[in-house]
Chains A and B, each alone.
Chain A
Amino acid sequence: MKSTGKRILKLSINGTVHECAAEPQALLLDVLRNELGLFGTKRGCDMGTCGCCNVLVDGQVQMSCLLLAHDMTGKEIETIEGLFDVGDPRGLHPLQRAWAEHGGSQCGFCTPGFVMTAKALLTEEPDPSEERIREALSGNVCRCTGYKKIVEAVQSAAAEIRS
């Protein structure tokens, strides 16, 4: 079968259109990290199980390790780098602040994936129950600690965003 070289790819990421060349079957995760220098999105299990590479695609949480970059044309991608809050002196989004305040991270590797999953949840459901939060985060794995502080961080951010 014939091989083909890199193809031009235009991606809308965090509201900005990026253009780069990518192999036909390049993964979104590799394009984000290797072509665009967006290192916030992590490669964890590389098989759809851990949630470390989660990004939002048209507002929906999806795994960038199982998405082919060329399928993302015309879609709006949001990564951890796109989160900010103009009202915060450090520019942190309420979820990021809550994570810091509640100790939701230890090594921090899983955090971007968790935060993106939580963002999708809170957009759909501004006041989720603890059970709902746990269910929504069930595809994200943290290997350092338990999930209690992570759940508390989501609850606290939800309250702040609602107020």
Chain B
Amino acid sequence: MQADYHQPDTLEEAQALLAECPDAVLTAGGTDLLVQRRASGAQGPLISLRGIAELRGIHESHDLMIGAGTTLTEILDSARMQGDYPALIQSIEVLGSHQIRNVATLGGNLCNASPGADTAAPLIVYGARLKACSAGGGDSGACRTIAITDFFEGPGRTSLRPGEILRGILLDPPSPRLRSGFQRLGRIQMDIAIASLAVAFEWDGGQARQVRVAAGSVAPVPLRLQATEEMLEATALDPETLNKAATVAAAEVSPIDDIRASAAYRRELIAVFLRRAIRAALEAHGEAGGGTA
């Protein structure tokens, strides 16, 4: 006989179940979790988040909130997301396959906390905040907001506390001057990235401001590259600056050798991706800049 499968209809119910049964595991799309359980043989009770309408959809008020249970296909299909957050869209376009994206959720990609989670670097450069809620407190329980840079603690580990459910991903509305993009290389599309990188910056009269750079698959967690950002801040993103920043980026990451690639190759990719991502972000708006990749 199998352990139970709970299918709550509301977040409140899910929180209560989790509080009551702390060894139960949450499942959203299940594309990470069910594969991992099959490999490990784990068989405990599951709480499904699929039936919870509050966790789904892209909601606009001042900020934009993407429900944690929104599927990657739903995000790809959103005209608002395509127009305003191209780096996130580019990361989802190459994530898994159609049948993965049709069930996999944005919240699941983050909570699984793989160093190579493709949506993490774009969400870092967009300054995403994560809303997490647990049982108790008011109507929807006790909620707090976590900066995405404080969310990842190591492979498979996040700063979510026991009993907390990720409710949504909050994004600021982009300014018309925001430029952003994403670069990735995998052995084949269906494979986890060898390395990935996202950039975002305000392009202000030929100067880059509020530069953000983040990279995936090159450290135990998706990593913000602050030294690289500083090199690029308030510059014209001229070839010389880009080349210097690319060298800094390659040194700032801490990749490992594994079956997919060597650490040295990953550093080299990060340098190339930085130049390419900046150039492509400008070119998407018909603007020039950047060095040669």
* A residues in contact with B73, CB < 8 Å: 60
Set of chain B residues within 8 Å of A71, measured between Cβ atoms: 7, 48, 50-51
Taken residue by residue from 59 to 80, chain A's Cβ proximity to chain B (1 for < 8 Å, 0 otherwise) reads as 0111100111011000000000
Name the prevailing secondary structure of the A interface residues: loop
CB nearest to A64 among chain B residues: B99
Q: Across the interface, which residues of A come within 8 angstroms of B3, CB to CB?
A: 1, 3-4, 24-25
Q: How far is the CA of A4 from the CA of B4 in the complex (A)?
A: 6
Stretch at the interface among B29-37, B82-90, B158-166, B208-216: B29-37
Residues of B within 8 A of A51 (CB): 97, 99
Are A1 and B23 also in contact (CB < 8 A) when A68-B48, A71-B48, A138-B190 are?
A: yes
User: How many angstroms between the C-alpha atoms of A153 and B210 in the bound complex?
Assistant: 51
A66 touches B35 (CB 8 A): yes
Interface size class of B (residues with CB under 8 A): 20 to 34
Closest CB-CB distance, B20 to chain A, in whole Å? 11
The docked-state distance in angstroms from the alpha carbon of A61 to that of B2 is 27
CB neighbours (8 Å) of B46 from chain A are: 25, 68
Q: Is the CB of B35 within 8 A of A138?
A: no
Q: How far is the CB of A143 from chain B (nearest CB, A)?
A: 14
User: Contacts A3-B1, A117-B99, A139-B99 hold; do A66 and B44 have CB atoms under 8 A apart?
Assistant: no
Shortest Cβ gap from B102 to chain A (Å): 5
A15 at interface by CB-CB < 8 Å: no
Interface residue ranges of A1-59 to B (CB < 8 Å): 1-5, 23-26, 46-49, 51, 54, 57
- By the criterion CB–CB under 8 Å, are B38 and A68 in contact? no
Residue of A nearest to B29 (CB): A66
Q: Using a Cβ–Cβ cut-off of 8 Å, how many residues does chain A contribute to the interface with B?
A: 31
A4 to B2, CA, bound (A): 6
A147 to B84, CA, bound (A): 36
> Do the beta carbons of A62 and B99 come within 8 Å of each other?
yes
Are B98 and A66 in touch, CB under 8 angstroms?
no
Decide: A47 near B189, CB < 8 A? Known: A1-B4, A139-B99. Answer: no
Nearest A residue to B96 via CB reads A139
Residues of B within 8 A of A117 (CB): 98-99
**CB-based contact B98/A136 at 8 Å:** yes
A60 partner, pick from B1, B31, B50, B102, beta carbons under 8 A: B102
Q: Are B190 and A62 in contact (CB under 8 A)?
A: no
Q: Do A66 and B30 form a contact, CB below 8 Å, given A60-B102, A61-B102? A: yes
Q: How far is the CB of A6 from chain B (nearest CB, A)?
A: 8
Residue of B nearest to A136 (CB): B98
For A140, the closest partner residue in chain B by CB is B97
Closest to B1 in A: A3
Q: Chain B: which residue is nearest A65 at the CB level? A: B34
Inter-chain contact A48/B31, CB cutoff 8 Å: yes
Interface residues of A (CB under 8 A from B): 1-5, 23-26, 46-49, 51, 54, 57, 60-63, 66-68, 70-71, 117, 120, 136, 138-140
A-B contact pairs, 21 of them (CB 8 A): A1-B44, A4-B2, A25-B5, A47-B39, A48-B31, A48-B34, A49-B190, A61-B98, A61-B102, A62-B102, A66-B29, A66-B30, A67-B30, A67-B103, A68-B27, A70-B7, A71-B7, A71-B48, A138-B189, A138-B190, A139-B96
Query: B residues within 8 Å of A by Cβ?
Result: 1-5, 7, 21, 23-24, 27, 29-31, 34-35, 38-39, 44-46, 48, 50-51, 73, 96-100, 102-103, 189-190
